[in-house]
């Protein structure tokens, strides 16, 4: 299990929420995500603004490790006060999930909140910013790889999705 705290400068909670929930774009910017598709039916108005969804993801892992398949339920609750959200993802079975040769991860959970940081944590005149607090657990794998991955390619991708952007602070705490 691990927890991270990341502060994104020059991006509002709404900007970061749109970026993180844009499943089609994640496949473009994250070299480790080979496939990320909704499965079954989901509630919500469109693919990019789903509130609840079942998702199937094929993830590349460094050699000699085998790729991983994540089938999970994701639920997003909006934070109207600042445009952020609460997001919970948990491993789940789904009859429509495709079969693959990759290792199926059956035990993981992830939760995060996107919010505007407390005013005393923001430098005066720094512009908008967003704080992400993330907790991640995976039963079969040490978390160091996922922790590294979550902050790695995100910088350039969020900049392309919403310019200008700067990652101000990222901390990974292994539990």
> Per-domain residue ranges for the chain?
2-174
One pLDDT digit (tens) per residue for the chain, 175 residues: 889 988 888 899 999 999 999 999 999 999 899 999 999 766 554 544 458 899 999 999 888 888 899 999 999 999 999 999 999 999 999 988 888 888 899 999 999 999 998 877 777 777 889 999 999 998 865 444 444 444 446 656 655 655 555 555 455 555 4
Q: What is the pTM of this model?
A: 0.76
Q: What CATH number is given for 2-174 in this structure?
A: 3.30.530.20
In angstroms, the CA 87 to CA 71 distance is 16
Q: What is the DSSP letter of 119?
A: G
In angstroms, the CA 142 to CA 137 distance is 9
Q: What are phi and psi of 47, to 5 degrees?
A: -60, -40
Here the tokens at position 142 are: 């040490």
């Amino acid at each position: 299990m691990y927890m991270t705290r990341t502060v994104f400068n020059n991006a509002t909670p709404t900007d970061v929420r749109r970026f993180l929930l844009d499943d089609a774009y994640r496949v473009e910017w994250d070299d480790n995500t080979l496939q990320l598709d909704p499965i079954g039916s989901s509630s919500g108005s469109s693919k990019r603004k789903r509130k609840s969804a079942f998702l199937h993801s094929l993830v590349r892992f460094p050699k000699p490790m085998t790729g991983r398949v994540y089938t999970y339920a994701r639920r997003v609750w909006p934070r109207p006060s600042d445009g952020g959200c609460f997001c919970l993802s948990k491993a789940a079975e789904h009859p429509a999930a495709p079969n693959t040769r990759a290792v199926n991860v059956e035990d993981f959970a992830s939760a995060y909140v996107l919010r505007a940081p407390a005013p005393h944590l923001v430098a005066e005149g720094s512009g908008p910013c967003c704080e992400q607090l993330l907790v991640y657990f995976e039963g079969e794998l040490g978390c160091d790889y996922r922790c590294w991955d979550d902050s790695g390619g995100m910088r350039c991708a969020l900049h392309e999705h919403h310019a200008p952007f700067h990652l101000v602070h990222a901390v990974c705490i292994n539990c």
